[in-house]
């Protein structure tokens, strides 16, 4: 479907419509084609199948890609785009480049491992099961990443300019502003929170002609309670019954925040001195990158060192397997955050059937993921072709989110000098996106649109 608002530029919404994953926006300005974000679809099977479908246009026609940040729902399709012919530069911040340097090869490795495991166990419907892309594909794509500084104008050609504006979501994350001499188009990326314990607040933006805004928490307010209180309560009651706490956590952002909180709780004597295991080589590397980018977050060098010292870092597969046989109270942090893959799946198989244990989720759980199923009361979850009973306590720390809630989004929008000509709400489940539409229309009186998948809008 095409909506005509003018004629300066076209936006085609290739993802993140009606879902929080698969962020991809094709901007066409004359003969210039720029893809803003290049994410994987996650969650429901019908969404994941889009990763395997032909890309809506020939990747060779795309002149440049802009990444707002490194999370796979914004960057994870890039290796396949390059494999299928994209030759241009991928513009991003330096920290995003560094994080993609570990995230994308890890994504390729996990997909290769899942394919090998499926072929070994024979639970795939495909013979043979194949990865979406490989480690080699990911490493090849990394060569096209081109880091640029924040708040600097980058000439994309044909009169189009890019500026990255820090938005506080994770290390290196940014809003992406595309503009020529007349018109400005702003993509919020995933908007961070103003008072996060580890990340700096999003920079304020005064004006744009058109805005694409995320809506992950468009229908929710974050609990104002200090997360340390609830985290300590969960750990203490689990330890009291002799259980362990398993935390599926996003390797980038959430893991570092959790380590910092655990350090604070132990220093205060609020929780017992339980062993903490970080079982994710990816999260280990991400933590090193976090500490190496001082000035882009709130933690001092001493706080970073203390955060790193709180956990034992699990390196080998043998040591990971040994954790599943370990008895007694402990805390394991392991990727992935929505329990979609990685070592955490083996821990779930070992620990979810025991009622003494706790599975603690610390971030958004997209529909169709194992995390969402467990939080919704699933009595069993399917892992590697078999159903695993869930008898452990399942809990969530919603107030650790790195996404702004709807009130924080509204507060950020209030700093615009004038309403955009149109605001497009994306990157949210339908209820959340529509709720944010209502809040913006009622409180700010702005013109708001909810684009459909593959819809094209022509701007003035």
Q: CB-hemisphere CA count at 13 Å for 12?
A: 14
Q: How far apart are CA 458 and CA 23, in angstroms?
A: 19
Q: How far apart are CA 307 and CA 309, in angstroms?
A: 6
Tokens of 189: 């990326």
Confidence of residue 378 (pLDDT cuts 50, 70, 90): very high
- In this model, does residue 6 exceed pLDDT 50? no
pLDDT, tens digit, 9 for 90 and up, residues 201-218: 999 999 999 999 999 999
Q: What is the pLDDT of residue 5?
A: 46
Q: What is the pLDDT of residue 4?
A: 47
Domains of the chain: 2-220+402-459 (3.60.15.10), 227-400 (3.40.50.10890)
Average pLDDT for the chain: 93
Q: Are 302 and 260 in contact (CB under 8 A)?
A: no
Q: What is the pLDDT of residue 123?
A: 66
Query: Could you tell me which of 301, 304, 309, 303 has the C-alpha nearest to residue 278?
Result: 309
Q: What is the DSSP string of 64-83?
A: EEE-S--SHHHHTTHHHHHH
- In this model, does residue 2 exceed pLDDT 60? no
Tokens of 446: 């702005």
Pure H helices in 122-214 = 135-142
Q: Between 164 and 384, where is the model more confident? A: 164
pLDDT, tens digit, 9 for 90 and up, residues 316-369: 999 999 999 999 899 999 988 888 888 899 999 999 999 999 999 988 888 888
Confidence of residue 113 (pLDDT cuts 50, 70, 90): confident
Q: Between 250 and 165, where is the model more confident? A: 165
Q: CB-hemisphere CA count at 13 Å for 267?
A: 12
Q: Are 362 and 337 in contact (CB under 8 A)?
A: yes
Q: How far apart are CA 106 and CA 118, in angstroms?
A: 18
Query: Could you tell me which of 327, 168, 180 has the C-alpha nearest to residue 242?
Result: 327
- In this model, does residue 245 exceed pLDDT 80? yes
Q: How far apart are CA 41 and CA 35, in angstroms?
A: 16
């Amino acid at each position: 479907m095409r909506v005509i608002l003018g004629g300066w530029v076209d936006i085609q919404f290739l993802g993140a419509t009606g879902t929080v994953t698969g962020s991809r926006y094709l901007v066409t300005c004359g003969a210039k084609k720029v893809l803003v974000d290049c994410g994987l679809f996650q969650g429901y099977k019908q969404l994941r199948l889009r990763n395997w479908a032909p890309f809506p246009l020939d990747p060779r026609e795309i002149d440049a890609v802009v990444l707002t940040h490194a999370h796979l729902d914004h960057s994870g399709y890039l290796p396949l785009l390059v494999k299928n012919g994209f030759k241009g530069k991928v513009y991003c911040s330096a920290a995003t480049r560094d994080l993609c340097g570990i995230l994308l090869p890890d994504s390729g490795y996990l997909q290769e491992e899942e394919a090998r495991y499926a072929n070994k166990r024979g639970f795939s419907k495909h013979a043979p099961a194949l990865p979406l892309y490989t480690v080699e594909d990911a490493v090849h794509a990394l060569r096209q990443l081109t880091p640029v500084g924040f708040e600097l104008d980058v000439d994309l050609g044909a009169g189009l300019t890019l500026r990255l504006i820090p938005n506080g979501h994770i290390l290196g994350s940014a809003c992406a502003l595309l503009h020529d001499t007349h018109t400005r188009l702003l993509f919020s990326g995933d908007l961070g929170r103003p008072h996060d314990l580890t990340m700096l607040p999003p920079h304020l933006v005064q004006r744009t002609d058109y805005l694409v805004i995320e809506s992950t928490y468009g229908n929710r307010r974050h609990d104002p309670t200090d997360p340390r209180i609830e985290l300590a309560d969960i750990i203490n009651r689990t330890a009291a019954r002799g259980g362990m706490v398993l935390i599926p956590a996003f390797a980038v952002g959430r893991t570092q925040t959790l380590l910092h909180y655990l350090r604070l709780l132990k220093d205060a004597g609020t929780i017992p001195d339980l062993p903490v295991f970080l079982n994710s080589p990816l999260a280990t590397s991400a933590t090193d990158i976090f500490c190496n980018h001082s000035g882009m977050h709130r933690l001092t060098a001493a706080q970073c060192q203390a955060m790193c010292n709180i956990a034992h870092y699990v390196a080998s597969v043998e040591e990971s397997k040994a954790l599943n046989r370990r008895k007694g109270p402990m805390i394991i942090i392991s990727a992935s955050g929505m329990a979609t893959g990685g070592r955490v799946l083996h821990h779930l198989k070992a620990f979810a059937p025991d009622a003494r244990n706790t599975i603690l989720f610390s971030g958004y759980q997209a529909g169709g993921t194992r995390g969402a199923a467990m939080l919704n009361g699933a009595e069993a979850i399917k892992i590697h072709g078999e159903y695993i009973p869930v008898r452990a306590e399942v809990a969530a720390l919603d107030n650790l989110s790195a996404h702004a809630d709807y009130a924080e989004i509204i507060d950020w929008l209030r700093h615009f000098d004038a309403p955009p000509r149109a605001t497009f709400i994306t990157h949210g489940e339908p209820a959340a996106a529509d709720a944010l539409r209502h809040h913006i229309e009622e409180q700010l009186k702005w013109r708001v649109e909810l684009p459909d998948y593959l819809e094209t809008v022509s701007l003035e």
